[in-house]
Amino acid sequence: MSDGATALVTGFEPFGGHRLNPSAEIATRLDGCRLGRVRVVGRVLPVDLVGLDAALDKVLTETRPDLVVALGLAASEPVIRLERVALNVADFTTPDNVGAVRRNAPLDPAGPDARFSRLPLEAILAATLAAGIPARLSETAGLYLCNALMYRLLGRLRPAIPGGFIHLPPLPGQIAEAIRHAGGRVAERGASLASMALELQARAVEIAIETTARGADASAVPNA
């Protein structure tokens, strides 16, 4: 990737009763950083299904990125989760931040059933693990706004621009607060109590940008 390339990192606002969203924390934290020859621009998007497309379009127009890493929170995820695919469906009962819910609604009635990530997922996975940060590939980005953003992003970007979506675990403080809120008593909920420190999450996102900027093949998806 040429000198002066721009990497766009997007996060989401907090939602669903959470006070924080690690994706917004990281987008804000990385905004303005340089990673090698890449300049990072961080933006926070609204948790608003209807308004999301216009918000994304505005950010893309303003920032004209050479690569895009979109981020979101996965509430019960213990590791950095590299999404392979976005589906052309929205289906969620937890309202978004403006009160919308959806049941089996197509995101784009004229669009394809799904779109594969155009990030070099295998290379990002290998580099993240080599840095001592737990990560995995994922076959589903859910059917909430994270999936909707990924689907829209991949339809909107020119094919030559690498882009995709990464789900992040909760922050330790979010889990501690949730347990306090429950009076210190949690049923044994396994993975739903997992978290990851912000520093590790931010480093993983930097690795994703650096790996993509180096021009690694988008090899974790077959026909990307």
Say how many C-beta atoms besides its own lie within 10 A of residue 133's C-beta: 18
Residue type (1 letter), 195: S
Among the candidate windows 34-42, 44-52, 61-69, 103-111, which touches its own copies by CB under 8 A?
103-111
Q: Hey, which residues are catalytic here?
A: 83, 146, 167
Q: Which of 61, 132, 158, 159 binds its own copies (CB under 8 A)?
A: 132
Site for its own copies in 193-222 (CB under 8 A): 193-197, 199-200, 219-222
CB 169 within 8 A of CB 204: no
Residue type (1 letter), 126: A
Q: Which of 5, 100, 137, 161 binds its own copies (CB under 8 A)?
A: 137
Q: Which is nearer to its own copies, 5 or 179 (CB)?
A: 179
Site for its own copies in 68-97 (CB under 8 A): 76, 78-79, 84-85, 87-89, 91, 93
Look at the block and give the residue holding tokens 């994270």: 146
Residue partners of 192: CB distance under 8 A and separation at least 6:
75, 76
CB 171 within 8 A of CB 20: yes
**Collapsed DSSP state (helix, strand, coil) of residue 85:** strand
Is 105 a binder of its own copies (CB under 8 A)? yes
Cβ 1 to its own copies, closest distance in Å? 23
Cβ 37 to its own copies, closest distance in Å? 27
Cβ 34 to its own copies, closest distance in Å? 26
CB 73 within 8 A of CB 192: no
Is 100 a binder of its own copies (CB under 8 A)? no
φ and ψ at residue 120, rounded to 5 degrees: -80, 80
Q: What span, in angstroms and rounded, lies between the C-alpha atoms of 114 and 178?
A: 34
**Collapsed DSSP state (helix, strand, coil) of residue 179:** helix
Among the candidate windows 36-44, 57-65, 175-183, 205-213, which touches its own copies by CB under 8 A?
175-183
Q: Which of 24, 67, 69, 135 binds its own copies (CB under 8 A)?
A: 135
CB 95 within 8 A of CB 101: yes
Which residues of the chain form contacts with its own copies (CB under 8 A)? 76, 78-79, 84-85, 87-89, 91, 93, 104-107, 109, 112-116, 122, 125-126, 128-137, 139-140, 142-143, 172-173, 175-177, 179-180, 182-188, 190-191, 193-197, 199-200, 219-223
